[in-house]
Amino acid sequence: MSEPNLFAPRPKLSLPCGLYRVTQPLDKRLKAPLLVYFHNHGEPGPGVYPAIEWSRNKATFAQQGFTVDVDYTRTLMPLPPEGFYRVRESFTCCEKNCQTFETEMLVQLGYDGSGNGILFVPTWTPEGLVFPERGTRLSDDRLSRLTPLKVVIPSNFEAGASQHGVAE
């Protein structure tokens, strides 16, 4: 016989699970801006999990998160998933036009600790396709010019993080 739960379950929030940028501090626990993974379910309730490390330009998120309420979720800015994309239409990284990304170019989208998008452009080498450890920071308005690519990931593949990048 299991113990009864004396606390009413918290409702699941309608905001989808995924990557977000914290735009407002969460009291003294989280500063802004900050890259987080948001889960709209779980025990003890919905929460944000800060990015703690990166491997292969992909973030891993803390196992221990911070519960949040509906009001706080309104301050989270949704971000496209990390991964591989193609450039749908040519664009530059920012208003300074430091780097141009040409149409149909293959890129990897990642983020820094503040939730700023970073594009990594691969090069072909004798060993195959290689993605650099350093990329080019993007202005937020450039993200809409990317189209996600489907990449097959074997079920037994361990890339340093779970499927969603949250350490388990």
pLDDT band, very low/low/confident/very high, at 166 (cuts 50, 70, 90): very low
My answer on whether omega of the bond before 33 falls inside 30° of 0, hence cis, is: yes
* Structural domains of the chain, with CATH: 18-78 (no CATH), 83-148 (2.30.30)
- Rounded-to-5 percentages of helix, strand, coil across the chain: 5, 35, 55
Average pLDDT over the chain reads 88
Residue 136 scores a pLDDT above 80? yes
What is the per-residue pLDDT across 38-87, written as a single tens digit (0 to 9) for each?
A: 998 877 778 999 999 999 999 999 998 999 998 999 999 999 999 999 99
